[in-house]
Amino acid sequence: MAISVLVADSKAASRQELVTQLQKDRGVDVVSDSREGRETIEIARSLRPAIILLDGAITGLDAISVIEELQVASPDSGVIVLTENAEHDMVRRLMRAGAEDYLVRPAAPEDILNAIRSVHQTVQKQRAALGTPMVDAANMRGNVIAVYSPQGGSGKSMLAANLGVSLAKAMGAKSSKGRVALLDLNLQFGDIDLMLNLTPENTIAGLSQKGHSGLDAELVEQYLTTHEESGLRVLVAPSTPQYAESITVYTVEQVIDALRDSYQIVIVDTPAQLQDTTLAALDAATTILLLTTLDLLALHKTRTAMEMLRQLYSPEKIWLVLNRANSDVGISLQDVEATLGVPMRAQVPSDGRIVVTSINEGKPFVISAPDSAIAKRINTLAFEILGREGPAANNESSPQDNGGFFKKLFG
């Protein structure tokens, strides 16, 4: 079957030339063309082309934003950027945004076709992996991402909820089962149900009463609530704090284990207190997102937590994430990295208006304000997680070492 391609270029002459060139090849089907950024996203959303050939100088919306939005609008499309220059920094930004490959203009038709074929192959492989049902084999189970911070109010739940929704959307959770689950481990004062405007019939408290002889995936499934807009499946915290005590480490281990059997990604929102149930989640995690902010108390606590986590787990398991990154408070990113001794994996900007409105309305901002900088950052983080974690724990190759960007940059 011919590879469907969308040509997105603001310059009429070059757009037409690309279309004409590509149409000569029977292996390629130019399904549409577009002349500016937003139009590209909308066409991609409805046509879902296999490949989007994107002009790096597209107007309306800049190429980086277009690529970021395409990750959500048409997650299975591979993006190839035609750029005027291959500056290291530019290429890095394109790659981080989610492009699969780039070509420097003027690019020979044969090179463009080769890139289309190669990216198409890579994307198909990734998609096949995403579609792999989870089976109960040690190396084929869902990845667990724990969001943790020793500092209360640092944004753990905001991140967990929006990341969950972003991943669920990117992985097509609405139409396919077994994609993304979110577990609220704030056993006393969980608020994920409010953040996502859920009306749960069951909570983890019910499971704790059933768990004596072990919990299986089928039983846990009955206690989950669906976030309808995204398809994210949520196990909410007890409705009142007095149930918290009944939830043991054993319950938490069993629940996470069961969720890993049926979901490709399991996100766990944790409380700031390092109680044994929190530790159970950190133990089970394949990745810990350690959240910090630009204030001295948070940094002090994060450093202590980091020291502890590094004694327990391998350094690659811990991803440092900065929330309210743009706050002007006299502490810089460099200070934070120097204090904690590790690089920052992601930065989430501060945006009181969007975050507070989103929480008040129970609508995650990755859905209600997808164009905001904060939503884009979370979407990008979601894609980095997908890239590294892949859908299954045994996914050795990330999309970044697909022979495209990485080879060109370092190989």
The footprint of Mg ion (CB under 5 A) covers: 156-157
The smaller minimum CB distance to Mg ion, of residues 15 and 156, is found at 156
Q: If contact means CB under 5 to 8 A according to the sort of partner, which of Mg ion, ligand ATP, none does residue 221 touch?
A: none
The smaller minimum CB distance to Mg ion, of residues 170 and 272, is found at 272
The smaller minimum CB distance to ligand ATP, of residues 60 and 349, is found at 349
Minimum Å gap between C-beta 348 and ligand ATP is: 5
Q: If contact means CB under 5 to 8 A according to the sort of partner, which of Mg ion, ligand ATP, none does residue 356 touch?
A: ligand ATP
**Interface positions with ligand ATP (CB under 6 A):** 149, 152-158, 186, 271-272, 323-324, 348, 350-352, 355-356, 359, 374
Minimum Å gap between C-beta 193 and ligand ATP is: 13
**DSSP E strands, 240-348:** 265-269, 287-292, 318-323, 344-348
Minimum Å gap between C-beta 352 and ligand ATP is: 5
Minimum Å gap between C-beta 152 and ligand ATP is: 4
Q: If contact means CB under 5 to 8 A according to the sort of partner, which of Mg ion, ligand ATP, none does residue 150 touch?
A: none
Q: If contact means CB under 5 to 8 A according to the sort of partner, which of Mg ion, ligand ATP, none does residue 348 touch?
A: ligand ATP
Minimum Å gap between C-beta 387 and Mg ion is: 26
CB atoms within 10 A of CB 335: 12
CB 91 within 8 A of CB 84: no
The smaller minimum CB distance to ligand ATP, of residues 27 and 153, is found at 153
The smaller minimum CB distance to ligand ATP, of residues 214 and 241, is found at 241
Q: If contact means CB under 5 to 8 A according to the sort of partner, which of Mg ion, ligand ATP, none does residue 167 touch?
A: none
Minimum Å gap between C-beta 157 and ligand ATP is: 3
CA distance 344 to 319: 7
CA distance 27 to 121: 13
Q: If contact means CB under 5 to 8 A according to the sort of partner, which of Mg ion, ligand ATP, none does residue 131 touch?
A: none
CB 376 within 8 A of CB 65: yes
The smaller minimum CB distance to ligand ATP, of residues 73 and 294, is found at 294
Minimum Å gap between C-beta 191 and Mg ion is: 6
Q: If contact means CB under 5 to 8 A according to the sort of partner, which of ligand ATP, Mg ion, none does residue 52 touch?
A: none
CB 123 within 8 A of CB 50: yes
Minimum Å gap between C-beta 189 and Mg ion is: 8
Q: If contact means CB under 5 to 8 A according to the sort of partner, which of Mg ion, ligand ATP, none does residue 330 touch?
A: none
Written as six digits, the tokens of 370 are 């997808």
CA neighbor of 230 nearest in space, from 364, 140, 327, 99: 364
Written as six digits, the tokens of 292 are 């910090």
CA distance 327 to 348: 10
CA distance 264 to 281: 16
The smaller minimum CB distance to ligand ATP, of residues 120 and 377, is found at 377
CB-based closest residue to Mg ion: 157
CA distance 35 to 42: 12
DSSP string, 182-200: EEE--TTT--HHHHTT---
Minimum Å gap between C-beta 131 and ligand ATP is: 32
CA distance 293 to 350: 10
Residues 6 or more apart from 44 whose CB is under 8 A from it?
A: 6, 52, 70, 73, 74, 77
Judge residue 249's burial from the number of C-beta atoms within 10 Å of its C-beta, 0-12 exposed, 13-18 middle, 19 or more buried. Answer: middle
The smaller minimum CB distance to ligand ATP, of residues 140 and 369, is found at 369
The smaller minimum CB distance to ligand ATP, of residues 333 and 356, is found at 356
CA distance 251 to 205: 9
Q: If contact means CB under 5 to 8 A according to the sort of partner, which of ligand ATP, Mg ion, none does residue 309 touch?
A: none
CA distance 377 to 355: 13
